[in-house]
Amino acid sequence: MQNINSENYKTAIFAGGCFWCMVSPFDVLDGIISVTSGYTGGELKSPTYKDVKSQGTGHYEAIKIIYDSTIISYEKLLDAFWRQIDPTDDEGQFQDRGSSYIAAIFYMDENQRIIAEKSKKALNHSGRFPKEVVTRILPASNFYEAEEYHQEFYKTHPTEYKKDRSISGRDEFIAKYWGDDYYKIYED
C-alpha cells in the first residue's frame, strides 16, 4: 500500500446533513482510502458534537475523504455526493434542520472549485429537480475530526444507523429523484 502522503492521494470535503449517512456511500467506492466524520467551516477551534449541534459555531457536519486520484476522480466523488443529498434545500437536510446540516462542497484548490461549479451547473440544468440547486461551494478550512463514537457509525452502530436513516426521509428522496440512476455510480 502507498504512503498516505502519496502524491496521488487527494482530499475531498463534503457536508450533506447528518454525517452518519454520508460515510457508507463513499466507503464502498473503489479508490477511497478513508472517510472521516468531522466538523468544518466555523470559527470555533476543536468543536465537539454538542457545540456543533447547538447551531452556534458556524461549523457543518462533514466528511473528509482521502482518495487515490489514479483510481477515482473528483468528478465521480461529486457525482456520488449529489446522489446523497437534497441539493435544493438550504436549511438543512431531510429531518435534520439548521446551519450545521446544510449541504456544501468544500474545495481544496481552484481546480476543485471549478469542477464543483461545473458539476452544480450541470445538475441545475439537468431538470432532475423542480427547484434550483442551492448547495454551497466554499473554500476548505480547518477540518476537525468528530468524536470516535461518530466514526464509521454505520458499522459500529448498525441498528441505530438503519433506524436513523429510515426515518430521515433521505432514502425516499433518493428513490424519488434518482430511481435506478442512483446505483449507476456504483456500477462504473
CATH assignment at residue 119: 3.30.1060.10
Task: Kindly report whether the global pTM for this prediction surpasses the value 0.75.
Answer: yes
Residue 3 placed within a domain: no
pLDDT for 107: 99
| Catalytic residue status for 21 | no
**How far is residue 73's CA from residue 19's CA, in Å, rounded to a whole number?**
22
**Rg for the chain (alpha carbons), in Å?**
16
**How far is residue 137's CA from residue 152's CA, in Å, rounded to a whole number?**
25
pLDDT for 2: 45
Residue 69 placed within a domain: yes
Residue 101 placed within a domain: yes
Residue 4 placed within a domain: no
* Selection from 165, 145, 144, 143 nearest residue 154 by Cα: 165
Cα angle 135-136-137, degrees, rounded to a multiple of 5? 125
| Cβ(184)–Cβ(97) below 8 Å | no
What cell was used for 46? Answer: 476543536
CA 162 to chain centre: 18
β-bridge partners, 63 = 14, 37
Residue 146 placed within a domain: yes
Strands 9-15 and 104-107: antiparallel
Number of domains comprising the chain: 1
Q: How many other C-beta atoms can be found within 10 angstroms of the C-beta atom of residue 3?
A: 7
Of the residues 13, 15, 18, 52, only one is catalytic, namely: 18
Residue 30 placed within a domain: yes
pLDDT per residue of the chain (188 residues) written in tens, 0 to 9: 445 558 899 999 999 999 999 999 999 999 999 999 999 999 999 999 999 999 999 999 999 999 999 999 999 999 999 999 999 999 999 999 999 999 999 999 999 999 999 999 999 999 999 999 999 999 999 999 999 899 999 999 999 999 999 999 999 999 999 998 888 888 76
Range of 60's domain?
Answer: 9-181
Tell me 148's DSSP state: G
Residue 188 placed within a domain: no
Residue 57 placed within a domain: yes
